[in-house]
Amino acid sequence: MNFITYGDYKQVDLQFQYFISLLIFNKMAYWLVKSEPSSYNWEQFEKDGQTRWDGIRNYAARLHLRTMKKGDEVFFYHSNEGLSIIGIAKVIKEAYHDPTTKDDRWIAVDLKAFKRLKHPVSLETIKKDKRLKDMALIRISRLSVQPVKEEEWKAILELSSNE
C-alpha cells in the first residue's frame, strides 16, 4: 500500500496550481527530462536530432508528459553521472501512446535537440542558488520528467552563461 505524506500532498498541490496557471494563461511551459549518460546522452541526442521520449512508468512523470505542448522547451539533464543540465530540447510531438508497451495508459512525446547550454549547470550549483531552492529537481529529485517554473528557467540560463 502506498501512503502519501503531507510533503507529497503539498508538492502535488503546487504542481496542480502550476498546470492550472498554464491552462488559464495559455503560456508556454518549461520542463526538465532526465537521462543517464550511459543510456542516452546529450551528444547522442544532438547526433540523432530528435527522439521519442518513452519508457516512462511513473504516474507523476506521465502527467507531465501529457501536459507538454508542441513548442514547449525542455532542459536535458544528465542524471547519475555528470549531474548537470546540459542542453535544451523542444517538444515537437505531443503525447501519444508509448509504443514500448501494450498498456494504453503510458505515453511518449517527441523531442528535438535545440541547443547545448554555453556551460552545463551542475546540481551542486543549482542547490547553492537560493532562487532555485523550490525547484522540483531538488525537492523531488527522483522524478524523471518535471515542470520548471519560468523564473527557474531564467535563473538556469543565467547560471549557464556565467559559469
- In whole angstroms, give the CA distance from residue 43 to residue 91: 18
Q: Cell triple for residue 153?
A: 528557467
Kind of pairing, strands 30-35 and 73-78? Answer: parallel
- Domain-embedded: residue 93: yes
- Domain-embedded: residue 63: yes
Q: Nearest 5°: phi and psi at 51? A: -155, 160
Helices (H) and strands (E) in the chain, counts: 6, 6
User: pLDDT tens digit string along 102-127?
Assistant: 999 999 999 999 999 999 999 999 99
> Tell me, what's the pLDDT at 104?
94
Domain encompassing residue 65: 29-162
Sign of CA dihedral 30, 92, 61, 81: negative
Q: 44 versus 28: which is more confidently predicted? A: 44
Q: Work out the burial of residue 3: count CB atoms within 10 Å of its CB; fewer than 13 is exposed, 13-18 middle, 19 or more buried.
A: exposed
Element (H, E) at 25: helix 6-25
- In whole angstroms, give the CA distance from residue 123 to residue 138: 8
- Domain-embedded: residue 94: yes
47-64: average pLDDT: 96
Query: pTM score, two decimals?
Result: 0.84
Percent of the chain with pLDDT over 90: 80
- Domain-embedded: residue 15: no
Domain count, the chain: 1
Which CATH number fits the domain that encloses residue 122? 3.10.590.10
Burial profile 139-149: b = 16 or more Cβ within 10 angstroms, e = fewer:
eeeebbbbbbb
